[in-house]
Amino acid sequence: MKDDKAQELIAYADCLYRNQNDKMKAMHPLAGQTLNEIRWANGGRILGVPQGQHQIRTYHPTIYIMDEAAFLPEAEQCYSATLASSPFCQIIAISSAGPGWFGDQCSL
């Protein structure tokens, strides 16, 4: 939700990368990494974006994943902003049960 949580995502992706076998690393070499982004040589990347509809509007993601979507304060607005900026984006929303927008989407 905050910048430190976005950075935890990148640290986790880095941990997964470092712990895979050397053959896989050689097939998918990294091009660089910052606190909020990990980039592969082939152009792929994982970007940790802090919470908020205005944060996601600056990007045009291919895949957008929301964790605990039922409990994110601006989940519906982020979903709508992502669709507006990237209409072909695959959106994955994961959550435990909770009332509100996400729960309504799951009951359709």
Long-range contacts: 37-44, Cβ < 8 Å, 24+? Answer: 37/10, 38/10, 38/13, 38/14
Residue 104 has pLDDT above 90, yes or no: no
In a shared domain, residues 56 and 108: yes
What is the pLDDT at residue 1?
A: 58
What is the spatial distance between Cα 105 and Cα 83, in angstroms, rounded to a whole number? 15
In a shared domain, residues 4 and 31: yes
In a shared domain, residues 14 and 30: yes
In a shared domain, residues 89 and 40: no
What is the pLDDT at residue 39?
A: 96
In a shared domain, residues 56 and 81: yes
pLDDT tens for 46-83 read 998 877 767 777 778 889 888 888 888 888 888 888 88
In a shared domain, residues 100 and 81: yes
Alpha helices in the chain (DSSP H): 3-18, 22-27, 53-56, 75-85, 101-106
In a shared domain, residues 105 and 85: yes
Structurally, the chain folds into a number of domains equal to: 2
pTM of the model: 0.70
What is the spatial distance between Cα 80 and Cα 104, in angstroms, rounded to a whole number? 15
Residue 107 has pLDDT above 80, yes or no: no
Task: Find where tokens 């992706």 sit.
Answer: 13
Rounded to the nearest integer, the mean pLDDT of the chain is 87
What is the pLDDT at residue 2?
A: 79
In a shared domain, residues 58 and 97: yes
**100 or 40, which is more confident:** 40
In a shared domain, residues 55 and 101: yes
Please give the residue range of the domain that contains residue 38. 1-44
